[in-house]
Amino acid sequence: VTSDPLIQENDSVLLYLSPRKNWIVRARASQEFHTHLGRVQLGNLVGLAYGAQVHSTTGEVLWALRPSLYDLIRKSERRTQVLYPKDLGFVAARTGLGPGQIVVEVGTGSGVLTAFAANLVRPTGHVYTFEARPEFAEVARRNLERVGLGEYVTLGVRDAIGGIGVTGADVALLDVGAPWELVPSLGAALKGSGMLAAICPTMNQIERLVESLGAGGFVDVESVELLLRSMEARTGMTRPSTRMHAHTAYLVFARKVLASA
């Protein structure tokens, strides 16, 4: 068993007060973080163990936690609709995303799904992602560098409808408004038996996509929606929360097959 390294100068730290009040900061000497609960000296974080407590100038207790990739991602700059962990997790499980794989993705958007996939395929795998709009590609590039995953990603700034120039991919990820238009490009990029996962906010997208997948050399087509219900856990009164996210996206999965000779 090796001991966990202590917080170093410039490390990212999740300053945690409550589920809604938490912030990602850098441990930096002579810098202060201002909250409505007073100030925290960020230099005091250096040398602490992750999980230690720190005090604000008003005596409030905050916890210095190690940010997970999801913490880093949910605090990143967003210009497009991004994915929820329930959907990210199911995409990973259903496609079998794992180390060493080649992944193709259209479109990159803010790069949230890109970062999630890059983290799973590294260090020997790679994500080739395509984004038609340069301003979104720039945001994604910044987000990927900030979470330290840029080296596992190649970002093509162009429309992917005409083809993407990658072959032999294990997994294709699709999150665009007209996913059926990308079936030929992603079909050509995937290897035989490769998995496609599409994120579709609306039902009409699923319908058109599933028609195209059937006609485009894919089998094992499955469409799902995952519902996540939070619990309010209190001694003797535990029950589901009154409100829930009713809808995030539908997920469509399919496997590429090879044309018979």
Ligand X SMILES: C[S@@+](CC[C@H](N)C(=O)[O-])C[C@H]1O[C@@H](n2cnc3c(N)ncnc32)[C@H](O)[C@@H]1O
Query: In the complex, which residues of this chain contact ligand X (CB under 6 A)?
Result: 80-83, 106-107, 109-113, 130-133, 136, 159-161, 175-177
Cβ 190 to ligand X, closest distance in Å? 17
Token digits for 79? 């210009």
User: Which residues have C-beta within 8 Å of that of residue 52, sequence separation ≥ 6?
Assistant: 63, 64
* Helices and strands: H and E segment counts in the chain: 6, 15
Which is closer to ligand X, CB of 35 or CB of 223? 223
Nearer to ligand X, 43 or 184 (CB): 184
Which residue's C-beta sits nearest to ligand X? Answer: 107
218: Cβ contacts below 8 Å, ≥ 6 apart: 183, 187, 196, 254, 255, 256, 257
Rounded to a whole number of angstroms, the minimum distance from the CB of residue 95 to ligand X is 14
CB 161, min distance to ligand X, A:
5
Closest to ligand X by CB, 45 vs 160, is 160
Residue 41 pairs in a beta bridge with 32
Would you say 60 or 71 has its CB closer to ligand X?
71
234: burial class by Cβ within 10 Å (0-12, 13-18, 19+)?
exposed
